Amino acid sequence: MADEDFVKSLHTQLAYWQKVLYLQDWTVELKIARQWEMSDNSTLAQCHWYIQRKDAVISVLDPQDLPGVAPKFLNSEECDYDISIVHELLHLHFAPFHREEDETSHEQAINAISRGMVKIYREDEAHKPDPKPLPHSGHYL
């Protein structure tokens, strides 16, 4: 299973991004999952939400299950837990508008927004929740 520093850094990032995205009214559980536990086993993270209760479970892939390939992997997505956390949280804002027939455009918009937000975050050191670097250099590879 993932080490304590990794899990702690994920929870720190989750709390930070929940605040930035004004999602403090949601109860979001973070779960480290093995690849066989993910409903889509070709992704780094996934989110299951319950709009009426404002509850969500974000599952992130255990680092020991990451493929041994460069920073690009499954489905051509970046292997970046920061982007994945923001991406999954953004699904909570977009959930009321989600339709299966718009899946691709929905994902493309969330991908672009999450990558842009994390890029700005990384360029502005003052906004980081913890001044020490995350245990896996941001990309966790």
How far apart CA 11 and CA 84 sit, in angstroms, is 13
Q: Which two tokens stand for residue 23?
A: 């999602």
Q: What percent of the chain has pLDDT over 90?
A: 41
DSSP 134: P
pLDDT at 129: 58
pTM of whole model > 0.75?
A: yes
Q: What's the pLDDT tens digit per position in 17-67?
A: 999 999 999 999 999 988 888 887 677 899 999 999 999 999 998 888 876
For domain 4-127, say whether CATH 1.20.120 is its number: no
81, 14 contact by CB (below 8 A): no
35 compared with 102, residue with greater pLDDT: 35
Average pLDDT over residues 81-110: 86
